[in-house]
């Protein structure tokens, strides 16, 4: 099994250099070491030095220099919406206060299914809907990243 030893961020990926695709849910994109079965049949051992949050469009660099494109899988989520931008901002504050991963969009907040947070949001006047879509939560102001 060939190893994936580093990550190339989306902005630097040239699609013509990718040889396969791996589709992972949010949790699967947070791993350091795991065996992956790619869509085209390639088996890859993700073997990073430290855990790294993979994003849709990033690529895994294999030992031989080839690239495997990372796609965010659609997964069950809750979409929280509100009657106004101010109400949605207040809901975002409450969700953030619970330190749960959340994807903040102009018209909705997406979280992984959690009946306690769903009930809280409804109690604050939100509409909560079950959806299936890729999940890319905010990484936070203090996430580790390199500059170079």
Same domain? 8 vs 63: yes
Residue 9 domain boundaries: 2-72
pTM equals 0.84
- Whether the predicted pLDDT of 5 surpasses 60: yes
Residue 18's nearest CA partner among 48, 62, 51 is 62
- pLDDT tens digits, residue range 10-37? 999 998 899 999 999 999 999 999 999 9
Q: Is the residue at 12 inside a domain? A: yes
Confidence of residue 139 (pLDDT cuts 50, 70, 90): confident
Q: Mean pLDDT over residues 3-8, rounded?
A: 98
What does the alpha-carbon distance between residue 17 and residue 30 come to, in Å, rounded to a whole number? Answer: 23
CB atoms within 10 A of CB 3: 16
Same domain? 62 vs 87: no
**What is the domain count for the chain?**
2
What does the alpha-carbon distance between residue 126 and residue 65 come to, in Å, rounded to a whole number? Answer: 48
Same domain? 11 vs 29: yes
- pLDDT tens digits, residue range 93-118? 999 999 999 999 999 999 999 999 99
Scanning the chain, the segments in alpha helix (DSSP H) are: 85-97, 115-123
Give the largest CA-CA distance in the chain: 54
Q: Is the residue at 16 inside a domain? A: yes
């Amino acid at each position: 099994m060939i190893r994936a030893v580093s990550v190339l961020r989306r902005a630097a990926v040239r699609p013509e250099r990718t040889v396969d695709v791996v589709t992972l849910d949010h949790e699967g994109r947070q791993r350091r070491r795991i065996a992956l079965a790619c869509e085209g049949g390639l088996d890859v051992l993700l073997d990073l030095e430290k855990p790294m949050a993979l994003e849709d469009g990033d690529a895994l660099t294999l030992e031989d220099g080839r690239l495997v494109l990372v796609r965010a899988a659609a997964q069950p989520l809750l979409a929280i919406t509100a009657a106004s931008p101010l109400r949605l901002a207040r809901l975002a504050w409450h969700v953030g206060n619970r330190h749960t991963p959340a994807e903040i969009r102009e018209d909705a907040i997406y979280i992984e299914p959690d009946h306690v947070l769903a009930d809280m949001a409804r109690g604050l006047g939100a509409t909560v809907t079950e959806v299936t879509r890729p999940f890319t939560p905010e990484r936070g102001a203090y996430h580790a990243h390199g500059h170079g």
